[in-house]
Homo-oligomer: A and B are copies of this chain.
């Protein structure tokens, strides 16, 4: 049984009193309006820190008589995982509205850096407080991220990070750990070693390159008997991935394992089943989607590593909320966990 705090929460009035300045000055500091001497601003900051003032987000949004505007920019195309991300966003639109958050989704051509950059450039700070993007590490995108940030838009990366840019936050799994987990499983599946082919979407995608690195490192350290073939880029595309897998199967009669660290899994399953070798090759893929579910059920895929799109969207929205009013530090977010799915624990 702990005590109920009787102390009111601190308000702007308290800050003004503590700092020995007027309400107007506190307001100018809080909302970084011009016309405050540095020394005065410091007094206010000190008072804020001392009495532990936290601006009331709800009252703030109420006073502005406007909603927080959030834009998700998500790749389009045949990538089912991106579709499920978009679905997750759609499911949150309603509830978010009740918290004064207005969410819109833009779908752009997958792996088209310039389209993404244009989309970011087109965002107006008055109509968008925060942009959440799924992006690869291309210079044009990185520049657009920094530009948007300078225009006053909080940019967050989702799924795949853009370290080195002005993005305020990244939401996604630890992809190197995912790669290591895949390696650890694959190693145990193949105690005698053998050839394992690796397929990626694009090595410009940070998540893909991180997975690859983790996979390679863990295999090298723990399972040196396994030989890696690839990586080969399938551009997260159904038909391209299918062609790649078909050729791999044809060329390597002794292929023991397959790790697809990107998307395009319906192509993968199709090629495996066409070859009649489904079930004889240990296959690890990413993201629980329709094709991977079918693959698990049929036995074509052994393990799926999943990054829980609903959880990611939830965290993205929460982080956006807490970042929106210039809270300086990192937002408190639960880490996204790597889900491991076999045929038996399919949800």
Contacts and interface: CB of A to CB of B under 8 A. Distances in A.
A203 to B, nearest CB: 24
B2 A105 contact: yes
Interface string A95-111: 10111101011100000
Contacts of A347: 335, 337-338
A339 interface: yes
Nearest to A100: B58
Contacts of A143: none
Chain A interface main SS type: mixed
Contacts of A188: 344
A74 to B, nearest CB: 12
A331 B18 CA distance: 41
B57 A98 contact: yes
A250 interface: no
B4 A127 contact: yes
Contacts of A56: 62, 98, 100
A58 B68 CA distance: 13
Contacts of A54: 97-98
Contacts of A105: 2
Interface residues of A, number: 45
A9 interface: yes
Interface stretch (A154-162, A272-280, A307-315): A307-315
A1 interface: yes
A334 interface: yes
Contacts of A100: 56, 58
A344 B97 contact: no
Interface string A298-325: 0000000000101100100000001000
A5 B344 contact: no
Contacts of A332: 91, 94-95
Contacts of A113: none
A340 interface: yes
B102 A4 contact: yes
Those 6 A-B pairs whose CB atoms lie nearest each other, nearest first? A58-B58, A184-B344, A181-B345, A310-B334, A95-B332, A59-B62
Interface of A: 1-2, 4-5, 9, 54, 56-59, 61-62, 67, 69, 91, 94-95, 97-100, 102, 104-106, 127, 181, 184-185, 188, 308, 310-311, 314, 322, 332, 334-335, 337-340, 344-345, 347
15 contacts: A2-B105, A56-B100, A57-B98, A58-B61, A58-B100, A59-B62, A91-B332, A94-B332, A95-B322, A98-B322, A311-B311, A314-B334, A339-B339, A340-B340, A340-B345
